[in-house]
């Protein structure tokens, strides 16, 4: 081998080792930590040093978060329009255009149905914004052709009557289409006769579908011909090893973001590692998320994608701007949000108070438990889903697996718990307690069903070894026996959220999905937001329910001599119940079927205007 060739060979080997080392280091890092703590949004940090065993503070951050949340929500409700004229003026002020035709009939609908949120529909404007750059004829064509794509059905309105069809199978009845299309059909039933002829492509899957590359968003002419190409018959319904959701997602990011750079999308930067070292003094065990993670930027923090299963879905995304209606979407997706059919429907698995024997909805679920009799443990049950297998080997980092593994930890590794001692005082104590003890005392989290074990590294044996399984399983009503109900994503959004809210339990929610109601609900008032790291969950429990036995023993607290009922801070339990009741009230006043219909009604009017050849002719003016 010549010297030149040896030099080239050596360079290639060194480059390969560097690449492998960087990727391995990145994968190892993302398995154990969250670089720069970026998965905890705008945290509230306790201004205490861990070196101090005791310290007095004016107030724990959680009461301040709750007070701010209640004030924000009261202000939101108080400023809603009271008349049609006010609603029109507010619409024009927000969106710089007239409302769509039929706005007056929509207003009558919301007034007749006591809808409280009459101005908060920013999500509709945001979702439809990209379609203003498409001609009406092109939009109609794409809407019609979207029905030929895998797992997309059409709800068609013709002459004031709607029907659901599966054009791929030649089926023209609801029996041949997805449950999501059937649900949407029911949502528009009351006002279908007010709509012009329209086609609504309904996503049959839980996952978002539309990921348009950044260049195509900036230069729409690049997509000319793409629509036909996607419908040429070569479009595969799943990846089959030909790509991944993450690779498709990266292309939606600005070229200057870390996700689009060669190595940054796979490994943490030196800056993030430096930030990580700064967090040793203030662990995210003491950070409390202000909101859930629906707007988190994976373009700026690409390493975080390893921890969310929707980036490993088997189902192929669509790189063209089709008007596809989906129940939820992560940031970066261009699907159009609609209410989930799980929320709108009435079923044994997803509806609080549903009587499957008499087929009627009851105001109180037959399994509801009085607050005083509910368990103080943090409760979650579900199947070991959470993502697909493209590429395989990452299931251990999916959101459900991380939660169950956190709560299944039987190691002597210590966690730091902060609690008031004595209960109700402003003297806070740090205690180091073994994870095994804390999980036994605080957590009741388990899988109830093995799903896709072949996708888990090490197979089913490793899955069972590292995660707790409850072979008995649970019904929906069994959840009401617990004060804390954790709600996390599955293959897509969680369809149990509304039923959890309506129970008399407090919901602790972590998600990366955005849904139609995001402008209507207030974290720390109606539910407790949880960061995707889950690290703060022990200190959430310690604030509301007080220290459990192992932290008390660690500091030799005199509270140990008191009976268990006296160890719980009265104010903490009262605050937790306040969240539970507020969530229940929200579901019964803003999460009703009528509220979902009002949202879809307004969405339909906006969509109809986009369809019209003369869009200005579809405006409403007083």
SS (H, E, C) 245-302: HHHHHHCCCCCCCHHHCCCCCCCCCHHHHHHHHHCCCCCHHHEECCCCCCCCCCCCCH
> pLDDT above 90 covers what percent of the chain?
66
510 in the same domain as 383: yes
The total number of structural domains in the chain stands at 3
Highest mean pLDDT among 34-38, 161-165, 569-573: 161-165
548 is written with which tokens? Answer: 């459990």
Q: How confident is the model at residue 19 (pLDDT cuts 50, 70, 90)?
A: very low
* Residue-wise pLDDT tens digits, 163-175: 999 988 777 666 7
How far is the CA of 606 from the CAs of 37, 116, 123, 325, in angstroms?
Answer: 39, 20, 12, 14
324 in the same domain as 417: no
Which one, of 122, 187, 114, 201, lies nearest residue 156 by Cα? 201
361 inside domain? no
Q: How confident is the model at residue 217 (pLDDT cuts 50, 70, 90)?
A: confident
Q: How confident is the model at residue 4 (pLDDT cuts 50, 70, 90)?
A: very low
304 in the same domain as 186: yes
305 inside domain? yes
User: Is a pLDDT exceeding 90 seen at residue 616?
Assistant: yes
Other Cβ atoms closer than 10 A to 504: 19
The answer to whether the peptide bond before residue 391 is cis (omega within 30 degrees of 0) is yes
129 inside domain? yes
Q: What is the pLDDT of residue 241?
A: 77
Mean pLDDT along residues 40-54: 46
- Do residues 152 and 113 touch, judged by C-beta distance below 8 A? no
Q: What is the pLDDT of residue 274?
A: 35
266 in the same domain as 156: yes
d(C-alpha 261, C-alpha 259), whole Å = 6
- Do residues 147 and 199 touch, judged by C-beta distance below 8 A? yes
- Residue in the block written with tokens 């008499």: 358
192 in the same domain as 106: no
93-97, 363-367, 564-568, 605-609: range with lowest mean pLDDT: 564-568
d(C-alpha 334, C-alpha 449), whole Å = 33
How far is the CA of 305 from the CAs of 168, 308, 350, in angstroms?
Answer: 34, 6, 29
> pLDDT above 70 covers what percent of the chain?
83
Three-state DSSP state, 485: strand
- Residue in the block written with tokens 């549903």: 354
| φ/ψ bin of 260: left (φ > 0), alpha (ψ from -120 to 50), beta (otherwise) | alpha
Other Cβ atoms closer than 10 A to 445: 26
CA dihedral 365, 442, 62, 580 (to 10 degrees): 0
388 in the same domain as 327: no
387 in the same domain as 332: no
Mean pLDDT along residues 387-415: 92
Three-state DSSP state, 354: strand
Three-state DSSP state, 183: helix
Residues 6+ apart with CB under 8 A from 201: 143, 146, 147, 149, 152, 153, 154, 322, 323, 324, 325
**Beta bridge mates, 484:** 378, 506
288 in the same domain as 184: yes
252 in the same domain as 396: no
Q: Which residue has the higher pLDDT, 531 or 379?
A: 379
Burial class (CB in 10 A: 0-12, 13-18, 19+), 37: buried
Q: How confident is the model at residue 29 (pLDDT cuts 50, 70, 90)?
A: very low
Q: What is the pLDDT of residue 141?
A: 93
583 in the same domain as 465: yes
d(C-alpha 569, C-alpha 441), whole Å = 16
CA angle 510, 512, 517 (to 5 degrees): 85
What rounded mean pLDDT belongs to the chain?
A: 85
d(C-alpha 74, C-alpha 66), whole Å = 12
The DSSP letter of residue 190 is: T
595 in the same domain as 562: yes
The per-residue DSSP string of 396-462 comes to GGSHHHHHHHHHH--S--EEEEEEESSTTSSEEEEEEEEHHHHHHHHEEEEEEE---GGGSTTHHHH
Q: What is the pLDDT of residue 7?
A: 43
109-118, 189-198, 301-310: range with lowest mean pLDDT: 301-310
CA dihedral 486, 492, 498, 504 (to 10 degrees): -10
618 inside domain? no
Q: What is the pLDDT of residue 291?
A: 77
* Residue-wise pLDDT tens digits, 403-461: 999 999 999 899 999 898 888 888 888 889 999 999 999 999 999 989 888 888 888 99
CA angle 8, 14, 16 (to 5 degrees): 100
The DSSP letter of residue 569 is: -
CA angle 113, 115, 121 (to 5 degrees): 135
174 in the same domain as 60: no
User: Is a pLDDT exceeding 70 seen at residue 38?
Assistant: no
* Residue-wise pLDDT tens digits, 271-329: 433 333 333 223 467 778 887 766 778 999 898 899 999 999 999 999 999 999 999 99
Contacts of 470-476 spanning 24+ positions with Cβ under 8 A: 470/381, 470/446, 472/448, 473/381, 473/448, 473/449, 474/381, 474/448, 475/348, 475/367, 476/348, 476/349, 476/350, 476/351, 476/352, 476/367
175 inside domain? yes
14 inside domain? no
307 inside domain? yes
* Residue range(s) defining the domain that contains residue 96: 83-110
């Amino acid at each position: 081998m010549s010297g030149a060739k040896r030099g080239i060979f050596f360079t290639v080997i060194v480059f390969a080792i560097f690449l492998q080392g960087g990727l391995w280091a990145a994968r190892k890092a993302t398995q154990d930590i969250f670089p720069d703590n970026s998965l905890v949004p705008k945290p509230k940090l306790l201004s205490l040093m861990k070196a101090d065993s005791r310290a007095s503070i004016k107030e724990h951050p959680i009461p301040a978060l709750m007070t701010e949340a209640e004030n924000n929500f009261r202000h939101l409700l108080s400023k809603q329009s009271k008349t049609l004229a006010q609603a029109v003026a507010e619409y024009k002020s927000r969106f710089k255009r007239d409302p769509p035709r039929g706005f007056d009939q929509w207003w009558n609908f919301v007034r007749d149905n006591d809808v409280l949120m009459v101005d908060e529909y920013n999500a509709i404007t945001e979702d439809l914004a990209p379609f203003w750059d498409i001609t009406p004829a092109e939009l109609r064509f794409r809407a019609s052709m979207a029905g030929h794509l895998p797992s997309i059905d059409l709800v068609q309105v013709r002459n004031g009557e709607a029907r659901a069809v599966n054009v791929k199978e030649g089926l023209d009845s609801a029996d041949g289409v997805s449950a999501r299309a059937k649900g949407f059909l029911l949502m528009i039933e009351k006002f279908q006769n007010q709509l012009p002829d329209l086609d609504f492509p309904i996503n049959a899957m839980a996952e978002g579908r539309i990921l348009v590359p950044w260049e195509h968003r900036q230069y729409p002419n690049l997509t000319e011909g793409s629509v036909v190409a996607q419908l040429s018959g070569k479009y595969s319904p799943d990846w089959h090893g030909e790509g991944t959701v993450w690779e498709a997602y990266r292309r939606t990011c600005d070229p200057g973001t870390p996700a689009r750079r060669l190595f940054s999308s796979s490994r943490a930067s030196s800056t993030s590692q430096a930030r990580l070292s700064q967090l040793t003094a203030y662990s995210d065990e003491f950070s409390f998320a202000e909101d859930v993670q629906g707007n988190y930027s994976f373009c700026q923090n690409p390493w975080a994608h390893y921890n969310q299963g929707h980036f490993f879905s088997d189902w192929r995304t669509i790189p063209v701007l089709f008007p596809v209606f989906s129940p939820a979407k992560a940031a970066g997706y261009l699907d159009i949000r609609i209410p989930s059919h799980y929320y709108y429907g009435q079923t044994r698995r997803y509806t609080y108070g549903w009587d499957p024997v008499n087929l009627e909805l009851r105001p109180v679920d037959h399994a509801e438990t009085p607050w005083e009799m509910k368990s103080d443990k943090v409760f979650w049950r579900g199947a070991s889903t959470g993502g697909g297998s493209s590429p395989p080997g990452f299931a251990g980092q999916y959101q459900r697996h991380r939660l169950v593994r956190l709560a299944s930890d039987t190691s002597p590794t210590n966690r730091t718990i902060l609690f008031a001692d004595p209960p109700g005082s402003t003297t806070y104590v740090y205690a180091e307690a073994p994870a095994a003890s804390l999980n036994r005392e605080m957590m009741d989290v388990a899988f109830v069903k093995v799903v896709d074990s072949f996708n888990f590294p090490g197979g089913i044996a490793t899955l069972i070894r590292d995660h707790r399984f409850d072979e008995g399983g649970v019904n929906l009503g069994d959840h009401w026996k617990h004060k804390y109900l954790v709600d996390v994503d599955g293959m897509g959004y969680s369809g149990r959220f509304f039923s959890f809210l309506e129970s008399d339990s407090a919901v602790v929610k972590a998600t990366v999905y955005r849904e139609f109601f995001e402008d209507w609900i207030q974290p720390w008032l109606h539910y407790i937001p949880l960061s995707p790291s889950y690290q703060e969950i022990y200190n959430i429990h310690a604030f509301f329910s007080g220290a459990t036995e192992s932290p008390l023993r660690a500091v030799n607290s005199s509270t140990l001599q008191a009976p268990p009922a006296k160890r719980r801070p009265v104010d903490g339990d009262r605050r937790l119940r306040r969240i539970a009741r507020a969530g229940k009230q929200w579901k019964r006043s803003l999460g009703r079927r009528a509220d979902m219909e009002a949202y879809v009604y307004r969405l339909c009017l906006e969509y109809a205007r986009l369809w019209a050849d003369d869009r200005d002719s579809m405006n409403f003016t007083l």
